[in-house]
Chain A
């Protein structure tokens, strides 16, 4: 038997209804697909960004805030830790490298981060794609997405990047808090990292200290940058990034600096906790979306049962012409399954599109570049939806099996 001419005729007969059905299922499936793909992309991207921060040390407080501010540059005023801690760690034999991170200023909405060359080059992994690294105070290296050029001279303003404000545009607030005496000269640009650091302006930590009247950490040696720092006049910093020599050293340092007025953490452990919360939210959304999908499918099932009952005579004619009950049931089942499968496929496409759009929104707001992609989970979700819909369609098809051809012909 060949049911396809009749299936196509049925779909043509209900083309507006068919289109609406496909769109409805597509929208229902989109949510689960979009949420899954987006959450995974967020997880992968945030984990990638955190890779350059082996051990973080800050003042006691929220671990999550320390991670968000330090790694993802989500501005929040952090308490300073004593310069003595930095001094102590620079002399620690378990430490391969250490970098203070100092925040508090912005230029055109881009955060300025004071640090050392070790961290700017991500422990030797990165080199500027344009210009050079900073060699003296008041020189700056910009992230790949910063809208400044080599040779530009800018004045930093005191403040933090408020959420929702577009980077690259100086606000009125920024103009009112400008450090008029401080000028930064852009000397280099870093390669793209697909992280919020692409929108950061990196300067010697000494510049940030000096601008804020804290000295420069090098008593009588104004031209020196980075470690070793002067042990007597070393200012504090909101956070220290420590690269331990070994894993054992990392655990020892973390344990040691979890007491005595400091907080030490591996970003991964905070991220794991965040991912767990994200996962919970995702699971809730996916469950809600799945329930929503089932409700939508049931509504569509009802619609199809109604449509099929309206076509009783049409199918009775087929029976009179010699079609078996099975033929008619297959026509109805295939029609319903084609609609729901098309809806599921549309949902996968819309879900991917939604994840892309959301990624751009997140990137615009945080600088975190996400690469959402569809994976086996999304394929499974769409397949499961299609399979459930196909089973539901059997109900519709089965309903036609009991129709009396003779009665329907005279209806």
Chain B
């Protein structure tokens, strides 16, 4: 049984300004629906709008027009603080370059999202972090993130994304910084963890091996979804 809900982007437009101040669209989505628990890939050249779509989907970026709807919650009309809380409780994000806090240990990095909501950590969260780390094949939890290998760093980043049991997992080029073998391992982990939670998975990637394992792939260019396979 999953708590994931349908994610819908309706008439979403994101504008940016060029060097002379003229507005141009970086994202223009007429209607995009992701069913709960599905795995969707975003393909396209750099600048096609994949990362912008991820930012909009998690409420980090507010569109100029349109609605981002999670179940029956319209994120576009939520106050920012409520959107932040929703993101913390609902979304797990994995970045291309991991974005760990290098001065913190692997364990502290995994637990970081839990620090945003409460002062004291529940003991069960620490156990859960250790368990997650074990599943990710991480053995050096007390080591600073800065001294871990790139593969280990991405595993820590995935564990961090999963620590609060998100039902929407967004990954932006999760394998781009990794060698082929490690990329395959990380891809398998990400897909398996999403499947186990029944979470909706949305992955922006150039990695065809990863994209081939998605239920759907949306091909983007110039901020639009051209086609899906």
In the complex, which of the residues A1, A322, A404, A409 contacts B87, with contact meaning CB atoms closer than 8 Å? A322
The answer to the question of B227 belonging to the interface, with a C-beta cut-off of 8 Å to chain A, is no
Question: Which of A4-12, A16-24, A368-376 forms contacts with chain B?
Answer: A4-12
The reply on B160 being an interface residue by CB < 8 A is yes
**A323 sits at the interface (CB 8 A):** yes
Contact B104 A5 (CB under 8 A): yes
Whether B55 pairs with A319 at a CB distance below 8 angstroms is no
Asked if A221 is an interface residue, CB under 8 A from chain B, the answer is no
Does B115 have its Cβ within 8 Å of any Cβ on chain A? Answer: yes
- In the complex, the answer to whether B112 meets A321 with C-beta atoms within 8 Å is yes
CB-defined contacts of A6 to chain B, threshold 8 Å: 101, 112, 115
The answer to whether residues A324 and B108 also contact, given A6-B101, A409-B55 and a CB cut-off of 8 A, is no
CA of A313 to CA of B102 in the docked complex: distance in angstroms? 13
A322 near B116 with CB under 8 A, answer yes
How far, in angstroms, from A409 to B120 measured CA to CA in the complex? 28
Q: How far is the CB of B49 from chain A (nearest CB, A)?
A: 12
A2 touches B103 (CB 8 A): no
CA distance A207 to B220 in the complex (A): 111
B116 close to A323 (CB less than 8 A): yes
Known: A13-B102, A314-B101. A321 touches B61 (CB 8 A): no
B95 contacts A2, C-beta separation under 8 Å: no
Q: CB of B91 within 8 A of chain A?
A: yes
| Known contacts A12-B103, A319-B60, A324-B84: A1-B95 contact under CB 8 Å | no
Q: State the Cβ distance, A313 to closest chain B Cβ, in Å.
A: 8
A12 to B103, CA, bound (A): 7
Contact with A along B83-105 (1 / 0, CB 8 A): 01101110101010001011110
Contacts of B119 in A (CB 8 A): 1-2
Decide yes or no whether B113 CB sits under 8 A from chain A. yes
Residue A91 CB within 8 A of the other chain: no
Query: In chain A, what residue has the closest Cβ to B108?
Result: A5
- Asked if B81 is at the interface of the complex by the 8 Å CB criterion, the answer is yes
Range for the number of chain B residues in contact with chain A: 20 to 34
CB distance from A316 to the nearest CB of B (A): 8
Partner of B101, one of A9, A319, A320, A324: A9
| CB neighbours of A3 from chain B (8 A) | 115
Interface residues of B in 176-204 (CB under 8 A from A): none
**Interface mask (A395-411 → B, CB under 8 Å = 1, otherwise 0):** 00000000011100110
**If the complex has contacts A6-B101, A405-B60, are A321 and B117 also in contact, measured as CB distance less than 8 A?**
no
Residue A325 at the chain B interface, CB threshold 8 Å: yes
| Interface residue A317 (Cβ < 8 Å from any Cβ of B) | yes
A268-295 to B contact mask, C-beta < 8 Å, 1/0 = 0000000000000000000000000000
A409 contact set on B, CB distance < 8 A: 51, 55, 60, 95
0/1 string, B145-164, CB within 8 A of A gives 1? 00000000000000010001
Contacting A at CB under 8 A, from B106-135, are 108, 112-113, 115-121
What residues of B have a CB within 8 angstroms of the CB of A5 in the complex?
Answer: 104, 108, 112, 115
CA distance A321 to B89 in the complex (A): 10
Q: Which residues of B contact A324 (CB under 8 A)?
A: 80-81, 84-85, 116
Cross-chain contact of A322 among B51, B91, B108 (Cβ < 8 A):
B91
Q: Nearest A residue to B95 by beta-carbon distance?
A: A317
Known contacts A1-B116, A1-B118, A6-B115; is-contact A322 B103 (Cβ 8 Å):
no
**A2 B120 Cβ-Cβ under 8 A:** yes
Whether B58 is near chain A, meaning CB under 8 Å from some CB there, is yes
Contacting residues, chain B, for A327 (C-beta < 8 A)? 116
CB 8 Å contact bits of A1-45 with B (1 = contact, 0 = none): 111011011101100000000000000000000000000000000
Interface flags for A224-265 (1: CB within 8 Å of B; 0: not) read 000000000000000000000000000000000000000000
B127 to chain A, nearest CB (A): 18
Question: Is the pair B88, A322 in contact by a Cβ cutoff of 8 Å?
Answer: yes
- In the bound complex, residues from chain A placing their C-beta under 8 Å from that of B88 are 321-323
Residues from chain B with Cβ under 8 Å of A321 in the complex: 88, 93, 112-113, 116, 160
Which of A12, A317, A325, A404 is close to B99, meaning CB atoms less than 8 Å apart? A317
A314 to chain B minimum Cβ distance, whole angstroms, is 7
CA distance A327 to B85 in the complex (A): 12
* Contact, CB under 8 Å: B84 / A319: yes
- Sample 22 A-B pairs with CB under 8 A, ordered by A number: A1-B119, A2-B119, A2-B120, A6-B115, A9-B101, A314-B101, A318-B112, A319-B84, A320-B58, A321-B88, A322-B88, A322-B89, A325-B80, A325-B81, A405-B60, A406-B52, A406-B55, A406-B60, A406-B61, A409-B51, A409-B95, A410-B51
- On B, residues with C-beta under 8 Å from A are 51-52, 55, 58, 60-61, 80-81, 84-85, 87-89, 91, 93, 95, 99, 101-104, 108, 112-113, 115-121, 160, 164
Query: 16 extra interchain contacts, Cβ-Cβ under 8 A, other than A325-B84, A409-B60, A410-B51?
Result: A1-B115, A2-B115, A6-B101, A8-B103, A9-B101, A314-B99, A318-B112, A318-B116, A320-B95, A322-B116, A322-B117, A322-B164, A324-B85, A325-B80, A409-B51, A409-B95
